[in-house]
Amino acid sequence: MSSYKIFVAGHNGLVGSALVRQLKKNTKIKIIIKEKKELNLIDQPKVMNFFKKEKIDQVYIAAAKVGGIYANNTYPAEFIYKNLMIQTNIINSAFLNGVKKLLFLGSSCVYPKNSSQPMKEQGLLKGVFEATNEPYAIAKISGIKMCESYNRQYGRSHKIDYRCIMPTNLYGPNDSYDLKNSHVLPTLIRKFHEAKLNKKKFVNLWGTGNPRREFLYVDDLAKACVHIMNLKKSIFNKGLNPMCSHINVGSSNEIRIKDLANIIKKIVDFKGDIKWDFSKPDGMKRKLLDSSKILKLGWRPQVSLKDGILKTYLDYKKNYEYYKKNI
């Protein structure tokens, strides 16, 4: 893989920044990144010209519009349009300009609302979606199927190898802490931290606290991405089929949101109480991925939930003023 030029789409985000940290460990790689003002991934001609000019060897697609329940409910048109455009422009432009290796990052949201737990890769398209994230899920599934379709049609003739992984809920440094639009774990960190600063007596949280979620520290995901990207094709394809070639990546552990909140409360050292707003939606009751396939391929998560939350909170405290200005 020496002297390869690798484009990380979405390098400023949670996943993209972790990928850059991981890839920088290999000094023989030239990492290509572009700020939004330099390259708007929704602009098809500009994306095409970028690939023509740069002569990229590998692509990691971590760019996406993401958010929690509130954001998905409030901006459904933006979620489906922007995600479809970003991934379509990158995948097609990469193919037309000779990129042989590409990794597309999806989400556990692609699986149906009533999936059996833990959710297996074969459960894709086997039921209806959770209503709060249907547009996002449809966009991500389109990315999976686009990669599969290009492999099926052009894999032999053009020697391309486009792979997809479905991460569980992620957290870590460089997350979004917008109280309305971010995911549950960073939202909890910010709520407890600011409640502590403001000496509040309690924190209001959405729902019942009973849904269970699985969480993975983002640097563990970045290692999984690089591991999957660089596996030999014969090894990666073993046990997969052309119509179901994506792989789940999770910690294989789940926790109630109520218990997660208490862990974060303790790490932040907030002394007040928690009040649950039962009028707000919970989302899916459980979301646990079956990660047996990637475990068989030699990857293992390294960071425990408590250690990961502590690392994330220390980063949040250190960069609190930055995060406040950039939400």
Q: What amino acid positions are annotated as catalytic residues? A: 136
What 3-state class would DSSP assign to 319? Answer: coil
Longest dimension (CA), the chain: 65
Phi, psi (deg, nearest 5) at residue 170: -110, 155
Write the single-letter amino acid at 309: I
For residue 32, give both structure tokens. Answer: 């290509």
Residue 253's nearest CA partner among 223, 218, 216 is 216
- Both tokens of residue 126? 């086997």
Opening angle at CA 176, ends 75 and 66, nearest 5 = 35
Whole-angstrom Cα distance, residue 67 to residue 53?
Answer: 32
**Of the candidates 10, 148, 22, 159, the residue with the CA atom closest to the CA atom of residue 99:** 159
* DSSP sequence for 156-190: HHH--EEEEEEE-EEE-TT----TTTS-HHHHHHH
* Structure tokens, 268: 């932040």
CA distance 119 to 109: 11
Q: What type of residue is 152?
A: R
